[in-house]
Chains A and B, each alone.
Chain A
Amino acid sequence: GAGVSQTPSNKVTEKGKYVELRCDPISGHTALYWYRQSLGQGPEFLIYFQGTGAADDSGLPNDRFFAVRPEGSVSTLKIQRTERGDSAVYLCASSLLVNTEAFFGQGTRLTVV
């Protein structure tokens, strides 16, 4: 596609449920980033992939959060046993190479009720 695509755009889930958020980066982009943005704040880093491997996952808040990128393209962010505090906009970005311009998706607004 022409840009970074994230699905779903909105997700409402019950506390304790499992959710998956998908990111489809720009074709050919090797680097993929996940960020989380809470209301009124700037985005915060979660995890970064270079190709298929997670080059830096130090931003994942706890072991309920996991992300994969098995073929070096699409990535899925997985959240187990969701909590109300997980409610936020989850942003994905991709860049052609590390340290080149990043392009952002529209985000997935996750609401845990």
Chain B
Amino acid sequence: KNEVEQSPQNLTAQEGEFITINCSYSVGISALHWLQQHPGGGIVSLFMLSSGKKKHGRLIATINIQEKHSSLHITASHPRDSAVYICAVRRGETSGSRLTFGEGTQLTVNP
């Protein structure tokens, strides 16, 4: 079992729909990241969370530390939101500050 699990693996939506991508993890963490990856490989950091909720434009990220779960929401989705969304955790031990990644959620928003 992966330490970071995302669902769904693939998601297709119509423009304007509200989208939720989920991330569950099984290890202690110091922070959780949501990342966006477009074709060609470039990764952009969307959020870094250690508690609560963050909002940036149409994107909202929440985390529940007790339940080891985070969600990324996109309101009023648009075709330009089509990308792979990746959840990554920074572990809480002192052994390193590496990120452990989920396998990503491929989002396609159709016009």
Binding site for B on A (CB under 8 A): 31, 33, 35, 37, 40-45, 48, 55-56, 58-59, 89, 91, 93, 98-99, 101-107, 109
Contacts and interface: CB of A to CB of B under 8 A. Distances in A.
A77 to B, nearest CB: 15
B81 to A, nearest CB: 19
Interface in B58-111: 86, 88, 90, 95-104
A55 B19 CA distance: 38
A41 B43 contact: no
A79 to B, nearest CB: 18
Given A56-B96, A56-B98, A102-B99, A107 B41 contact: yes
A37 B88 CA distance: 13
B86 A42 contact: yes
A89 B98 contact: no
The 6 closest A-B pairs by CB, nearest first: A42-B101, A107-B41, A104-B43, A56-B96, A45-B98, A106-B42
B26 interface: no
A104 B36 CA distance: 11
A35 B101 CA distance: 10
B-side interface size class? 20 to 34
B14 to A, nearest CB: 25
Interface in B3-38: 4, 30-31, 33, 35
Contacts of B30: 99
B51 interface: no
Nearest to B33: A102
A45 B99 contact: yes
Q: Which of B30, B31, B45, B98 has the most CB of A within 10 A?
A: B98
A9 B22 CA distance: 31
B40 interface: yes
Contacts of B31: 99
A45 B40 contact: no
A48 B45 contact: no
A31 B86 CA distance: 21
